Chain A
Amino acid sequence: MTSAGAPPGDSGDDRSGTVTGHGGIVVTDVHRAFGEVRAVDGVDLVARPGAVTALVGPNGSGKTTLLLVLAGLLVPDTGSVRIAGYDPVTENYAARARTGWMPDTFGTWDSLTSREVLTTVAAAYRLPRELGVQRAAELLELVHLTEYADTPAHVLSRGQKQRLGLARALVHDPDVLLLDEPASGLDPRSRVDLRGLLRRLAAEGKTVLVSSHVLAELDEMADDAVFLSRGRTVASESVESASAARRTWRVRALDPEPLAAWLTAAGVPFTVEEDGAALLSLDGDPSAAALLRDAVGAGVPIASIAPSSGALEQAYLALEEERR
């Protein structure tokens, strides 16, 4: 997304002061029920400025509800929330001014063009007109929709709408970004772009909270992860530590026989997959490197060795295991 380039006359560094100290998102023991359904039932969460935090959980675990609370749309039944230092319940307006929210299912104003959608939102955020127009152009460029700037939003594809929604959340240059399943419907290219964009926003000092149930896409995007299950925080950890944790690796050799023989001889417990690859449990990259060195030294024709799935996915599945 470097193609987007820098907007003229824009220096970005005047922002750094505002996010230090009291920035970020702090959620303490938030509950929110809809009648009988306890959608959010005890969430604690800290999202640091300058980092991308993943909000992970299965369908119905309360991610969207939590983000609605954070966006200042819902009052939590109990618990407290701070967004960039403001309480969205008592200081809704100030919190709103600093929050960019991208809903999971969003409609667009059908008859408006992409550009008009963004200029309208800019006006709604009380940006002066010329600035809004300039902002819209920059953001369309940023999400690669310049081509569709003047087509009605309703002819955009799902992924394009999603990108427009992301641009819409960025119009007022918020300190805190709340993105609800931003990657759904995006093609691989757009996912890579999204990742790059979020990384750069974080590097600018913004707080980015991304919800998803597709764990693989969060691995390379997120610094921290918060796991939700049935409305509760079940774990928070950094992606780095999740990567370092013991997890399953997949080792494939040109010929499965020598690999199996060597592993048995070395006393490493493993299971064999249908294609002859071996699954084994290792605690982190150094162990994997050591295993690879030894195996190659022993003349086993290793073709590949990699974690069998993403770090977050494994951490998440491990949690699910524990809960059974």
Chain B
Amino acid sequence: MSTDTQTGTGAPAAVPGEIAPRGDWALSWNGVRTVATLELRQRLRSTRWKIALVVWFVVVGGITLLTTGAVGLLSDSPGMDDPRTPLGPLVFGIVVFFVLFLGLLVAPTLSASAINGDRNAGTLATLQVTLLTAAEIVVGKLLAAWAAALAFLVASIPFIAFALVLGGLSVVALLSTLGLLAIMLGVVCAVGLGFSALTTKTSGSAVLTYLVVGGLSIVSVVLFGLTTPLVTVRDEPVRVWAPADTYDGLVEPTGSPQCEWRTEEQWVVHTERTWWLLAVNPFVVVADAAGSPVDDEFMGAADPLSGIRWAVREARSGPADEVDYCFDWYGNPVGDSPVAERVPDSSPVWPWGLGVNLLLGIGGVLVAVRRLRIPHRKLPRGTRVA
């Protein structure tokens, strides 16, 4: 053989020569795809994952059937055949919340061990020493985890679409809901990734991610409730338009009262100071954006999504500046009221919540990238690089 000293390690054309250095934050589609495919291959080949998907399909399907059945029974019962409350939105709301709930449970498991798990298995450093940048490794892992989470969402589409078919819903509502569900799952994946870069143990990062998820979905609502005393002012002067003191129409019906401006001290709950606690909640974000028209009366909102939307927008609007108490004995308003009508702020709340959640997700990604930059200066306690 002519090339006797040849080892078969001959030069690939792409690497030698001048290599343009790329920073830790540089991203290339090639690099991201390499990491994402690697991650997906690792996951997709484990049958556990397929089983989880099947279980998911069955559970969501079961819940959809049960809700439809229960709601159907309810609406068949006498007195409930109100045409204003089609089945669709109710079933849709319940199914969407259930999917979001399950998704928030599943998403952390998809990403919270992506970095520390690899580090413990000794496969992280082998990626880091290649020409992949830290950002490519993180974004690739995020894409893979997100894609896996989306698979669960896709498995629920038949049921969400079924609820749509039941009527009362626009396709826009379906699309915006699916979009927000997808983004929320992505955010949780990103947060999990951040924690998995921060902690040594995979159990640690999973717990921390669940804490964040729990904090956003449950603690936020509880806090909103618990902080009402803090935002309640017991003796706030409120301008009221009320019958003059001379009017004794409260005792007996004696014509129309003369109304005048007065300032009374009242209990006022300023939820406009704490509404954001509700806004960051993923369930609120999804509900607020669901897109079905806000019914002007709370009673008209027969489905959970519209109800939540109404409530959070009310909370944001806070108490009225002026109150109209000018009623006659029969409770009818009197004359032309000078009181400005309270118009609740009906602009959407979900962009705020979405923004906060996206910031959390971006934070997770940034933390992870910072943690994956090499060479390492500090090592997390008790870890070896390899």
Chain A contact residues, CB within 8 Å of chain B: 1-2, 4-7, 10-12, 14-15, 18, 34, 64, 68-69, 71-75, 88-89, 91-94, 96-97, 99, 101, 103-112, 116, 120-128, 131, 135, 138-139, 141-142, 168, 170, 172-173, 175, 197, 200-201, 203-204
Contacts and interface: CB of A to CB of B under 8 A. Distances in A.
Contact of B3 (A6, A110, A175): A6
Interface stretch (B63-71, B154-162, B372-380): B372-380
A111 B374 contact: no
Contact of B15 (A72, A126, A139, A197): A126
B30 interface: yes
Given A124-B131, A124-B132, A127-B14, A201 B7 contact: yes
A128 B8 CA distance: 18
Interface in B323-372: none
Nearest to B375: A75
Given A96-B131, A135-B12, A111 B41 contact: yes
Contacts of B41: 109, 111-112, 116
B73 interface: no
A124 B123 contact: no
Contacts of A73: 125, 128-129, 374-376, 385-386
Q: Which of A7, A104, A126, A138 has the most CB of B within 10 A?
A: A126
Interface stretch (B16-24, B199-207, B236-244, B264-272): B16-24
Nearest to A96: B129
A170 B386 contact: no
B376 A74 contact: yes
Nearest to B39: A109
B98 to A, nearest CB: 31
Interface in B14-51: 14-17, 19, 21-23, 30-31, 34-35, 37-38, 41-42, 45-46
Interface string B245-256: 000000000000
B77 interface: no
A10 B38 contact: no
Contacts of B38: 109, 112, 120
B13 interface: yes
Interface of B is mostly: loop
29 contacts: A1-B7, A6-B1, A7-B10, A12-B3, A68-B386, A73-B125, A73-B374, A92-B374, A93-B19, A99-B129, A101-B129, A103-B386, A107-B121, A111-B42, A120-B38, A121-B126, A124-B132, A125-B131, A126-B14, A126-B131, A127-B15, A131-B12, A131-B13, A142-B8, A172-B131, A173-B10, A173-B15, A201-B7, A201-B9
A139 B129 contact: no
A105 B9 contact: no
B123 A106 contact: yes
B225 interface: no
Interface in B79-132: 121-123, 125-132
A73 B4 CA distance: 35
B8 A138 contact: yes
Given A131-B13, A203-B5, A124 B376 contact: no
A120 B379 CA distance: 27
Given A12-B6, A71-B129, A138-B9, 15 more contacts: A1-B7, A5-B6, A10-B8, A10-B11, A72-B129, A73-B129, A75-B375, A97-B19, A103-B125, A106-B122, A112-B41, A125-B14, A125-B130, A138-B10, A172-B15
Contacts of A108: 123
Contacts of B377: 75
Given A75-B375, A111-B42, A142 B9 contact: yes
B7 A197 contact: yes
B11 A173 contact: yes
Contacts of A135: 12
B375 A92 contact: yes
